[in-house]
Chains A and B, each alone.
Chain A
Amino acid sequence: MHQLEPRGADEYTVLIFFSIDCHVLGIHDERVRKIATEYAERGVRFFAVDAEVGATAARDRVEAARRGYPFPILIDGGARIAREFGAEFAGHVVVLDRSGKTLYRGGIDSDRAHLTDGATPFLADALVDLLAGRSPRVAESKALGCALRTW
């Protein structure tokens, strides 16, 4: 079982709100994998959070493996975490510090369903800034994914 509280040397925790059906998030899977792999080595913990009705740990374990996520998908029963962080759309990301303070919230990047080289990498930029001891240059953006079916 995974705990959301930051632990040990891990400076920051990233939560990515997940929907098994959302093609917009699926389109971002490769970027998510790349960011998670890169920043996990630098002490950032990643979790996907499945707050949708009908989510099961068994299904999401299979899904995480299928997508090659280097992090687990947590079940958010009752969508309490989603509500706490104001996550309404798949692909909504929050970056927390050790105390649980939200340092960044919003999209993975500025692309939606059509990936471009010129996208603004909001999440990666926030992590770069935080690991450099700065506040994120953009602390809030818009998640462009699908509505989470949470009730």
Chain B
Amino acid sequence: MRRPLSTSRSAFSVGSVIAFVAVSIHPTRAGAQACCAGAAAVTPGRLAVHEDALVGFQSRAADIFASFSKDADYVPASAAEWDFEQDLFGALRVARRAQVALLAPVVQTYRRARGISDFGGGLGDLNLSGRYDFTLAGESEVVPGVGALVGVTFPTGRPTESSDAANHPLAADAAGTGAYQLNLGLALEQTVGPWLFGVTGLYSKRTPRTIGGTKVTLGAQWTVLAGAAYTFSNDAALALVASYSAEGNTEADGIEVPMSSRRIPLLTLAGLYPLNDPWRLQGGVFATPPLSSLGRNTPANLGLVLALVRSWS
């Protein structure tokens, strides 16, 4: 069983953000340092404490190898699907503890089913976000780093319902959710020697969109990310991040659609390798655990993400 196409892009976007959050766990130290720690959340490319600006390019590829049904059963895929995404992103420090970031994704999808294959894509949903750090990880022995996150995702990508059905029978040209999304979050992080531990909570609310005359609103989504990272003396780092998103039922003309809620689990093993002070490579492997009851109404994927970042201090 395949997941509904109408939710596929949204799932991919969430996965993309979470995967980048994982590779953005960038503790960059071996001790009591607040530098570079924690989740970039909402938008990739979080600035480390010493950085004033950065730009980056990220490439991501994922194989959709299965899905979770509405009853949370794990179902191996009966058709092929590959998702690709390239992101340009940048971040700018606007105050000593405040930063803003912009992410511009370009999405491509390859689908094959029932003897039909389809490849398409385009500009995805732009994301603008901000972060304010009230305290920094490592500043205090007791109080963790506390950051407030806010973000807006703009519906700049073509949603599934606007797909060019004549040329893209499997809607592979869809690249967006078709709705604005407001993200709010809180990030906690602390360093213990060379280890960094972080927990981030995100709340996302989407605006309604009209599909075939029906006003459809995706349910509010709660996401928790928990991660641990180890930094080596050469500034390289490894991180393991687990995330879990829970989304409420979709509403159609104000009426809840039963069994349309979603649960999205994801595990990411990420790494960071500094080429020098301004340049770093970040990458990771992410996967949906293939366990029934963990997910619901969502694809299960396995993929790679690689990013090159240039920063200025």
Contact = CB atoms under 8 A, between A and B. Distances in A.
Q: Say whether A and B bind each other.
A: yes
Interface residues of A, number: 26
A9 B170 CA distance: 82
A146 B141 contact: no
A146 B34 contact: yes
B313 A142 contact: yes
A144 interface: yes
A144 B31 contact: no
Contacts of B34: 146-147
B242 to A, nearest CB: 26
- The majority secondary structure among interface residues of chain B is loop
A142 B30 CA distance: 21
Contacts of A88: 139
Mostly, the A contact residues are: loop
User: Which of the listed residues B28, B29, B49, B140 has the most CB atoms from chain A within 10 Å of its own CB?
Assistant: B29
B50 A89 contact: yes
A113 B28 contact: yes
Interface residues of B, number: 26
B222 to A, nearest CB: 30
Contacts of B49: 89, 147
A24 B313 contact: no
Given A114-B277, A116-B276, A53 B235 contact: no
A49 interface: no
Contact of A22 (B31, B234, B274, B313): B31
Interface string B273-284: 010110000000
B252 interface: no
B157 interface: no
A23 B29 contact: yes
A66 B141 CA distance: 25
Interface string B7-37: 0000000000000000000001111111100
A114 B138 contact: no
Interface of B: 28-35, 49-50, 136-141, 143, 193, 231, 233-235, 274, 276-277, 313
Interface of A: 19-24, 52-54, 88-90, 111-114, 116, 142, 144-151
19 contacts: A19-B32, A21-B33, A22-B31, A23-B30, A23-B233, A23-B235, A24-B29, A53-B141, A54-B141, A88-B139, A114-B235, A114-B274, A144-B313, A146-B138, A147-B49, A149-B138, A149-B139, A150-B139, A151-B140
